[in-house]
Amino acid sequence: MTLGAKDAGYLDVTVQLFPRRVFDLINYHLVTQRLLLKDKVQFPEEGRFGLGGKVRTLAMARLRANADIIQHWKAALGHMSLLENIPASVKELNALSDEIWYLAGDTAVDSSWYTKRASLAAVYASSEMFMTTDTSSDFVATEEFLDRRLKDAQIVGGLVGGFTQYVSFWTGNSVNLARSLGMRV
């Protein structure tokens, strides 16, 4: 880092601004690229894009923000997985997932709020790992990988949501049946 600071014309002492060294640079990239999403991706007013299409577009835009540094991103992922960096890395991944859903226009305030964000975080993280091995032109393979993972998440989410509705329905019916039989429930 000291050599990099010198090459960029900064004093040696400049690296003291980064107490966690390399991870602070990685985290800076993560945060700034997340915050730039709202300016990079604009959706037309008319509803040409559905919520899923917006989420996909935003996730891919964020992945493409790693394109210039992709040759170093595998090492960055390694730094993020170090025990002392995991809390900050997961926090930023959650912030990214929340930002993408917010920018896509998600206004749900039910229990799906958590599952959608957790699912997107998992899809994004796996797509980011895949991207480090992608040799296709303009990361077309990463885009296809992202599409498959989003579709998988949608299917699993539908199954979980359906199962939750099923359990909720039968729980409610069981309580009502018990009450009709005079039980205090």
- Does the residue 119 lie in any domain? yes
- Does the residue 100 lie in any domain? yes
Domain count along the chain: 1
Among the residue ranges 30-34, 101-105, 106-110, 154-158, the one predicted with the least confidence is 154-158
Burial class (CB in 10 A: 0-12, 13-18, 19+), 26: buried
- Does the residue 11 lie in any domain? no
15 vs 3: CA distance, rounded Å: 10
- Does the residue 123 lie in any domain? yes
- Does the residue 86 lie in any domain? yes
Question: Is the pLDDT reported for residue 31 higher than 90?
Answer: yes
Domain limits for position 39: 22-180
Query: Which pLDDT does position 27 carry in this prediction?
Result: 93
Residue 176: CATH number of its domain? 1.10.357
Question: Is the pLDDT reported for residue 2 higher than 80?
Answer: no
- Does the residue 12 lie in any domain? no
> In Å, how far from its chain's centre is CA 179?
44
Question: Is the pLDDT reported for residue 182 higher than 50?
Answer: yes
**b/e burial code for range 37-57 (CB count within 10 A of at least 16 → b):** beeebeeeeeeeeeeeebbbb
DSSP type of residue 19 = T
* CA dist list (Å): 148 to 2, 62, 66, 116, 153: 42, 17, 20, 16, 9
- Does the residue 71 lie in any domain? yes
The most distant pair of C-alpha atoms in the chain lies apart, rounded to whole Å, by 82
For residue range 76-127, list pLDDT tens digits in order.
999 999 999 999 999 999 999 999 999 999 988 887 888 889 999 999 999 9
- Does the residue 55 lie in any domain? yes
- Which helix H or strand E contains 165, and what residues bound it? helix 140-180
